[in-house]
Amino acid sequence: MERPYDDILENIKRVRETMAQAAIAAGRNPEEVQLLGVTKTVSPDRINAALDAGIAAIGENRVQEFLGKRDALLLNRSDGSKTAVHLIGHLQTNKVSKIVGLVDMIESIDSVHLAKAVSDASQKIGGVTDVLVEVNIGREEAKSGVFAENLDEMLDEIRGFPGIRVRGLMTVPPILETEKEKRAIFSQMYKLFIDIKAKNRDNDGMDTLSMGMSGDYREAILEGATLVRVGSALFGRRYYPPR
């Protein structure tokens, strides 16, 4: 008989296998690539089942939704480990103080202004927040993120902010059909990542390249992703409540 969370357990196994195969195919160590379970719209009981099955990090898009679910999540494991939580959706400056201190990483820093707000809020609570800079690699109008040609200048400006630690780059690329197209765009991101790492020799914390979702995490790993953000391939189709 099927138990209630069997689908999630099977999905986790399958995604992990695909991830490992992609890493090995690229000559990489599978342990270099972290799986972030994207839990937007997913109910706490299903998230907890995934945590139970060993998902060590989750990603949420919206501050309000995460705060509403947070108390029901079993983020502290009995073995003493703690599930990492990443904010991966667009963050408005006026919500920054609500979320800083409650997440382990903010992946969606897309302006100097937002980086400053996160730094200030972190300092206020005596902490430092790990962040990624989101790159709009496909130059899509509807997407947030900085353009590649503005990345250097932005990094120069935010590097000195004392309340943040810039750990790398994140992107949500355009939806592409072929493996070749997907890999080409991820490869552009990898080059940017390597470039900024080379320019930041003193900043050895630059270790995260977050790219790849349910439809393209394999290609992302082949091209150098260190973190893939996988939602529907783990939890099934998302149903958005009507507004």
Query: Applying CB under 6 A, which residues contact ligand PLP?
Result: 38, 40, 61, 88-89, 172, 213-215, 229-233
**Minimum separation from the CB atom of position 172 to ligand PLP (A):** 5
Residue nearer to ligand PLP on the CB measure, 85 or 163: 85
* Cβ pair 98, 66 in contact under 8 A: no
**Minimum separation from the CB atom of position 228 to ligand PLP (A):** 9
Residue 56 backbone dihedrals phi, psi, to 5 degrees: -95, -10
Tokens representing 97 are: 């103080």
Best CA proximity match to 109, nearest among 208, 34, 233: 208
Residue of this chain nearest to ligand PLP (CB atom): 231
**Minimum separation from the CB atom of position 164 to ligand PLP (A):** 19
Residue nearer to ligand PLP on the CB measure, 187 or 232: 232
Residue nearer to ligand PLP on the CB measure, 163 or 182: 182
The Cα–Cα gap between 17 and 30 comes to 10
User: How many Cβ atoms sit within 10 Å of the Cβ of residue 36?
Assistant: 25
Q: Map residue 24 onto helix, strand or coil.
A: helix
The Cα–Cα gap between 77 and 51 comes to 9
Residue nearer to ligand PLP on the CB measure, 38 or 163: 38
CA distance between the termini of the chain: 36
**Minimum separation from the CB atom of position 160 to ligand PLP (A):** 27
Residue nearer to ligand PLP on the CB measure, 21 or 200: 21
* Cβ pair 44, 85 in contact under 8 A: no
* Cβ pair 213, 229 in contact under 8 A: yes
CA 58 to chain centre: 8
Residue nearer to ligand PLP on the CB measure, 205 or 215: 215
**Minimum separation from the CB atom of position 134 to ligand PLP (A):** 8
**Minimum separation from the CB atom of position 144 to ligand PLP (A):** 10
